[in-house]
Amino acid sequence: MNLKFGTDGIRGPVESVITPEACLKIGHATGLAMKELGWNTVVIGKDTRISGYMLEAALQAGFIASGVNVRLLGPLPTPGVAYLTKTLRNKFGVVISASHNDFLDNGIKIFNEDGEKISRDVEKRIEKYLSGDLLSVKTESIGKAYRFDESGPRYIEFCKSTVPPEINFSSLRVVLDCANGACYRVSPEVFEELGAEVICIGTDPDGYNINKDCGSTHPNIVKEAVINHRADFGVSLDGDGDRVILVDEKGNILDGDDLLYILAFANPNRTGAWSGVVGTKMSNLGLEDGIKKLGYKFIRADVGDKYVSDMLTKKGWMLGGETSGHIICKDLVSTGDGTIAALKVISSLLMLEKKPSEVLANYTKIPQINIAVPVKNKDIVNDKDLQSLIKEIESDMTIGRVLVRPSGTESKIRIMIEAPQIEVAEKFAIDIESLILKKS
């Protein structure tokens, strides 16, 4: 059983990778590793995938066998689990979710006592135990499991508390897509209790429809609803609620780069902890230029909200995020939180008394093409012919970037091309895609 941590925990198909046996092992190995660090209590949350019931039972059995006590939170967004891990003063937290993937996949994400993704050193400790035998502690030392029924209400109140009391949502009509995922109950209540009129999409999970033709990877669903209902905003979350895409009143889709710019623009304090913004290698060159013109420093982390968070901690900064919609507001949360990011962006615009388009007119994106190519072996990214083609393309462009990388969450190679003309970016992206398909 070759289980290894990727960009965002351990993830894969339920039938072959994230099996009940694997989760039993992961729970046991994680429990042993955490006990080495003096941690003996875990909270476990999950999204709405049908496999969650099965994997939750296996995971808790593994923890209990290692002598760790378990609190079961039930369906809850990933950032909600991170929040409760910290506020309930548990030593660590686990989420059973494959984020934006379909229901055939699932995964395990682990947070430390501060509600942050565990470090690579802790992951290595767990991997060491994963290669060993699964042996229960003595009977008198096994852990216990409890249900915690207040997880949803606790998280709802926290989300509401992040909105300044002088901000009123009662004049807003909001289209909210919860991707038939972990936010399906809590996020609509947050917006409704703040006074907004909420038109819901993706709030009827059946175990199989998470992220299916909805959520942050399909923002056109919200775009159409915003136009049809004449809404003020559209909010599109992903299956575990840690990323968000917004839509403005005209139906314009705002990705993570746009949201980062709005938050940076709205912030009046640009010194100290607010002197810099963290993006990733995927962040648009136009965003970098726009952020710097606002008076901030701008640094790129590796792709993955974990790496953005780590860079923010290293620099002592408060704001960072990814193009995909992971937005981290360190003054409020320890990890990417789609609901809270949406609340903060909308609140900022209300305080500015500006439409999104008025703020975003202050920076210009460079045309960018993104393609995800399914492959059997992601090592093809190191193929010498592919690397030669990338260098050739880079030498042809005076302005722009080429990024070809293996996905950290799926069996895909991701291609990103930026160029002054969209036609040029499309041509180069297709050239790279064709070579990858030929080699795979």
| Alpha helices (runs of H) in 2-138, residue ranges in sequence order | 20-36, 51-65, 78-87, 120-130
Pick from 38, 124, 45: which is nearest to 85 by CA?
45
pLDDT confidence band for 188 (50 / 70 / 90): very high
Which of 360, 385, 403 is the last residue before a domain boundary? 360
CA angle 91, 96, 99 (to 5 degrees): 120
Pick from 339, 358, 311: which is nearest to 163 by CA?
339
Mean pLDDT value across the chain:
95
Query: Do both 239 and 128 map to the same domain?
Result: no
Record the tokens describing residue 282, joined without a space: 């995927």
Answer yes or no: are the C-beta atoms of 201 and 214 closer than 8 Å: yes
Token match 């409890």: residue?
146
Pick from 114, 79, 281: which is nearest to 187 by CA?
79
Contact partners, residue 431, CB within 8 Å, separation at least 6: 389, 393
pLDDT attached to residue 1: 63
Confidence check: pLDDT of 149 > 90: yes
Tallying the residues shown for the chain, one arrives at 440
Query: Do both 350 and 413 map to the same domain?
Result: no
Answer whether residue 4 is part of any domain: no
Query: Do both 17 and 145 map to the same domain?
Result: yes
Nearest 10 degrees: CA dihedral of 119, 123, 125, 129? 160
Confidence check: pLDDT of 440 > 90: no
Rounded Cα gap, residues 153 and 192, in angstroms: 14
Confidence check: pLDDT of 126 > 80: yes
Query: Do both 320 and 380 map to the same domain?
Result: no
pLDDT attached to residue 7: 78
Answer whether residue 2 is part of any domain: no
Answer whether residue 59 is part of any domain: yes
Query: Do both 160 and 141 map to the same domain?
Result: no
pLDDT attached to residue 6: 84
Which of 92, 125, 149 is the last residue before a domain boundary? 149
pLDDT confidence band for 397 (50 / 70 / 90): confident
pLDDT attached to residue 290: 97
Answer yes or no: are the C-beta atoms of 49 and 98 closer than 8 Å: yes
Rounded Cα gap, residues 53 and 301, in angstroms: 35
Within 325-419, strands assigned E span 327-329, 368-374, 401-406, 412-418
Q: Which of the pair, 186 or 305, is modelled with greater confidence?
A: 186
**Tens-digit pLDDT profile for residues 402-434:** 999 998 777 899 999 999 899 999 999 999 999
Rounded Cα gap, residues 347 and 332, in angstroms: 14
**Tens-digit pLDDT profile for residues 357-375:** 999 999 999 999 999 999 9
Answer whether residue 234 is part of any domain: yes
pLDDT attached to residue 182: 98
- CATH number of the domain encompassing residue 172: 3.40.120.10
99, 216, 236, 348: which one is catalytic? 99
Answer whether residue 105 is part of any domain: yes
Q: How many CB atoms lie within 10 A of CB 138?
A: 7
192 phi, psi to nearest 5 deg: -65, -40
How many angstroms separate the most distant Cα atoms in the chain?
68
pLDDT attached to residue 85: 95
- CATH number of the domain encompassing residue 389: 3.30.310.50
pLDDT exceeding 90 applies to what percent of the chain?
90
Query: Do both 81 and 190 map to the same domain?
Result: no
Ordered strands of the 276-280 beta sheet: 297-301, 276-280, 319-321, 327-329
pLDDT attached to residue 327: 98
Query: Do both 204 and 318 map to the same domain?
Result: yes
Q: Taking residues 375-392, what's their average pLDDT?
A: 91
Confidence check: pLDDT of 241 > 90: yes
Say if residue 381 is exposed, middle or buried (CB neighbours under 10 Å; 0-12, 13-18, 19+): middle
pLDDT confidence band for 51 (50 / 70 / 90): very high
Q: Taking residues 305-325, what's their average pLDDT?
A: 95
Nearest 10 degrees: CA dihedral of 416, 422, 428, 432? 40
pLDDT attached to residue 91: 83
Query: Do both 125 and 248 map to the same domain?
Result: no
Confidence check: pLDDT of 259 > 80: yes
pLDDT attached to residue 410: 78
Answer whether residue 222 is part of any domain: yes
Which of 121, 149, 177 is the last residue before a domain boundary? 149
Query: Do both 310 and 373 map to the same domain?
Result: no
Least confident among 76-85, 301-310, 355-364: 301-310
Answer whether residue 5 is part of any domain: no
Rounded Cα gap, residues 243 and 155, in angstroms: 16
pLDDT attached to residue 168: 92
pTM: 0.92
**Tens-digit pLDDT profile for residues 82-107:** 999 999 988 899 999 999 999 999 99
| Structural domain count of the chain | 3
Conformation bin of residue 318: beta by default, left when phi > 0, alpha when psi is -120 to 50? alpha
Confidence check: pLDDT of 267 > 90: yes
Answer whether residue 3 is part of any domain: no
99 is catalytic: yes
Query: Do both 391 and 318 map to the same domain?
Result: no
Give the structural domain span for 207: 154-360
